[in-house]
Amino acid sequence: MHRIETLDEFIIKRQKSHSTATGELTGLLRDIGLAAKIVNREVNKAGLINILGKYQEENASGEQVAKLDIYANERLIDFLKTSGECAGLASEELENYVKFPPRNEKQGKYVVVVDPLDGSSNIDVNVSVGTIFGIYRRLTPDDQEVEERDFLQPGLDLVAAGYVIYGTSTILVYSTGHGVNGFTLDPSIGEFCLSHRDIKIPNEGPYYSVNQGYYLKFDLEMRRYIDYCSDLNLRLRYIGTMVADIHRILFQGGVFLYPNTRKYPKGKLRLLYECNPLAYIVEQAGGKALNVKLDRILEMIPEELHQRSSVIMGSPAMIDEMAEFVQRYAPNIPAESQ
């Protein structure tokens, strides 16, 4: 019988193979895995207890918050502030970042950015939702409190990133810059078990994922590329949970687009909490992630915690085709910007 490998075993084994690894990142990844199990427990029974529905507040992005958003946010804070490895957290659900006090006079070496429950609008109708996280080495001295600049780092400087998808099964997918691996939660033993080793995104695929309802609000070059996808008889799949839409594309190939619109002139999705961690995963799996100006998402320098960005990510050959449409139809996009 095939011996299972748990997330904890995998993380520790990987730590041993990287001489510079000192264990703090290992501990942090394990804490995130633990928080994901707790969130999973509540997501899976949300319909049975009064945790569905909307909270009366709005989050930092002005979106109404579901109760499970708050629950997930609080659980992640609980686990990370006692981790000892995390000095602070920036969350899509919080206006500002949270500083964690030192544990045993030891400040954490890392900061975490997180979307605690991505796709929360889908919670009440039992459609997949997710958690997205990114981990940075802090820039400020380890013996001082974190500052905003610790969180405003480009995605290229992530030391780890990943997501959890709470769907027909609960899968944690992460990378520390050495490829992408997926772990499926086995409820019978309460462990994430290695289920998808060394994930590689197909060079192209049968899906394009975009909110067609905004088609007329997209710029010409995006509409022309979407028309092209439709003419190719690609299949349109859009769940409205970025984690779920990217998860499909990671395994079966395709392209995900959320271009800018009149309502969101810079794009809707958050650079820190959604675009960067998922772009990191997609690139580590061999894909590409750009904005509508063909800037590489991971090279964008964040200027504020809740900065938004347009995003197109997925199979490399399809992103290259999309870029050709931008070159052809977008006004004054320099050829070298690809």
Type of residue numbered 163: Y
**Nearer Cβ to ligand P6P (87/257):** 257
Angle of CA points 290, 239, 244, to nearest 5°: 65
Residue 278 CB coordination number (10 Å):
34
- Residues 6 or more apart in contact with residue 161 via CB below 8 angstroms: 133, 134, 135, 155, 174, 175, 276, 277, 278, 280, 281
**Number of chain residues interacting with ligand P6P (CB under 6 A):** 9
CB 258 within 8 A of CB 268: yes
Site for ligand P6P (CB under 6 A): which residue of 119, 134, 287, 314? 119
Task: For residue 240, state whether it binds ligand P6P (rule: CB under 6 A).
Answer: yes
Span from 46-54, 82-90, 237-245, 300-308 in contact with ligand P6P (CB under 6 A): 237-245
Task: For residue 24, state whether it binds ligand P6P (rule: CB under 6 A).
Answer: no
Span from 7-15, 29-37, 234-242, 284-292 in contact with ligand P6P (CB under 6 A): 234-242
Task: For residue 93, state whether it binds ligand P6P (rule: CB under 6 A).
Answer: no
* Least CB distance to ligand P6P at residue 44 (A): 19
Span 264-283, contacts to ligand P6P by CB under 6 A: 268-269
Span from 26-34, 52-60, 117-125, 193-201 in contact with ligand P6P (CB under 6 A): 117-125
Task: For residue 167, state whether it binds ligand P6P (rule: CB under 6 A).
Answer: no
Task: For residue 118, state whether it binds ligand P6P (rule: CB under 6 A).
Answer: yes
User: How far, in Å, CA of 227 to CA of 305, rounded?
Assistant: 34
Span 193-232, contacts to ligand P6P by CB under 6 A: 211
* Least CB distance to ligand P6P at residue 211 (A): 4
Span 42-61, contacts to ligand P6P by CB under 6 A: none
* Least CB distance to ligand P6P at residue 210 (A): 9
* Least CB distance to ligand P6P at residue 61 (A): 8
* Least CB distance to ligand P6P at residue 283 (A): 18
User: How far, in Å, CA of 297 to CA of 150, rounded?
Assistant: 18
Span 120-149, contacts to ligand P6P by CB under 6 A: 121
User: How far, in Å, CA of 330 to CA of 332, rounded?
Assistant: 6
Span 242-261, contacts to ligand P6P by CB under 6 A: 242
What are the CA-CA distances from residue 18 to residues 11, 76, 136, 260 (Å)? 11, 27, 17, 40
Residue 194 pairs in a beta bridge with 183
The DSSP secondary structure of 305-328, one letter per residue, reads TT-EE-EEEE-HHHHHHHHHHHHH
Which two tokens mark 318? Answer: 């399809």
* Least CB distance to ligand P6P at residue 256 (A): 8
* Least CB distance to ligand P6P at residue 15 (A): 31
Which 8-state DSSP code applies to residue 296?
Answer: B
* Least CB distance to ligand P6P at residue 187 (A): 25
**Nearer Cβ to ligand P6P (16/263):** 263
User: How far, in Å, CA of 70 to CA of 51, rounded?
Assistant: 10
User: How far, in Å, CA of 136 to CA of 187, rounded?
Assistant: 30
- What's the per-residue H, E or C state across 149-181? HHCCCCHHHEEEEEEEEECCCEEEEEECCCCCE
* Least CB distance to ligand P6P at residue 180 (A): 19
The DSSP secondary structure of 118-130, one letter per residue, reads ETGGGGGGT--EE
Site for ligand P6P (CB under 6 A): which residue of 26, 175, 241, 310? 241
Contact positions vs ligand P6P (CB under 6 A): 118-119, 121, 211, 240-242, 268-269
